[in-house]
């Protein structure tokens, strides 16, 4: 029997037991009153329990986490980690960027500047400028957020399970600064079948000629000034 049917079966048994003439005949008048009040209370508790169980079963079925390897960022392979205090991040980022990148927020669908951008180029992390996605892998998913089939380098992305909103999803973050980018789903086009659903505010678009291979943009964004400790 499927686990989803168990709460329903228990409820049916209790209802039958509650209205069984045989049970009522076995009880006296005073016992009937106590029995009726007890059963009413129990039935209410059971209904709430069934609703909770059914909700848990439903949301558990919405598991969209992917079996993606958690890449090890060993020396010489992944990007060198950077770590700043939250005060420093607030000084570096706009309030909107901070909400997305550091507080794991989500911008409204179709609100981002990069959603329908089609020019060739590279999308870098808005917090640390690590190259993350290429325009060659960008496509219109009709979801309202910039979508990509794969990252520029697998080691530039880290994956974590996200269980907010009672739904299991796979969160993607920048491998250099651990900033939140968005989520990845298994409903993308070939050849990967993946959809990296990324917030526009988590990215900065750079023209292809302005990006060094596996490096930082030649033209830095407004949050990375000459005295920036992140500059190499």
**Tokens encoding 207:** 């023209």
Catalytic residue chosen out of the listed positions 128, 174, 177, 197: 197
Task: Measure the CA dihedral 83/194/103/74, to 10°.
Answer: -20
- Report percent pLDDT > 90 for the chain: 49
Cis peptide before 191 (omega within 30 of 0): yes
**Tokens encoding 215:** 């490096």
How far apart are the C-alpha atoms of 6 and 217, rounded to whole Å?
58
pLDDT at 164: 80
- pLDDT at residue 85 is higher than 70: yes
- pLDDT at residue 29 is higher than 60: no
What average pLDDT does this structure show over 21-39? 56
Tracing tokens 């892998």 back to the chain, one arrives at 137
pLDDT bracket for residue 5 (50, 70, 90): low
Q: Hey, where are the domains in the chain?
A: 3-60, 86-210
Residue 174 is among the residues annotated as catalytic for this protein: no
Task: Please provide the distance, in angstroms rounded to a whole number, between the alpha carbons at the two ends of the chain.
Answer: 61
CATH C-level class of 86-210: mainly beta
**Tokens encoding 71:** 């890449």
Whole-structure pTM value = 0.63
CA distances from 87 to 92, 98, 227 (A): 9, 11, 17
């Amino acid at each position: 029997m499927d686990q989803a049917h168990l709460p329903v079966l228990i409820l049916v048994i209790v209802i039958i037991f509650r209205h069984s003439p045989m049970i009522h005949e076995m009880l006296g008048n005073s016992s009937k009153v106590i029995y009726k009040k007890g059963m009413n209370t129990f039935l209410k508790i059971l209904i709430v329990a069934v609703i909770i169980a059914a909700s848990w079963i439903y949301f558990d079925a919405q598991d969209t986490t992917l079996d993606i390897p958690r890449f090890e960022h060993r020396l010489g392979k992944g990007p060198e980690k950077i770590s700043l205090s939250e005060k420093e991040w607030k000084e570096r980022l706009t309030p909107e960027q901070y909400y997305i990148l550091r507080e794991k927020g989500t911008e409204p669908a179709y609100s981002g500047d990069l959603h329908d951008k089609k020019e060739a180029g590279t999308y870098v992390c808005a917090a640390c400028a690590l190259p993350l996605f290429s325009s060659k892998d960008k496509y219109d998913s009709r979801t309202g957020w910039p979508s990509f089939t794969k990252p520029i380098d697998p080691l530039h992305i880290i994956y974590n399970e996200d269980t907010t909103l009672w739904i299991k999803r796979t969160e993607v973050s920048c491998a250099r600064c651990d900033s939140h980018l968005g989520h990845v789903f298994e409903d993308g086009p070939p050849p990967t079948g993946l959809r990296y659903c990324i917030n526009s505010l988590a990215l900065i678009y750079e023209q292809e000629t302005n990006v060094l291979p596996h490096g930082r943009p030649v033209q830095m964004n407004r949050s990375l000034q000459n005295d920036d400790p992140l500059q190499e």
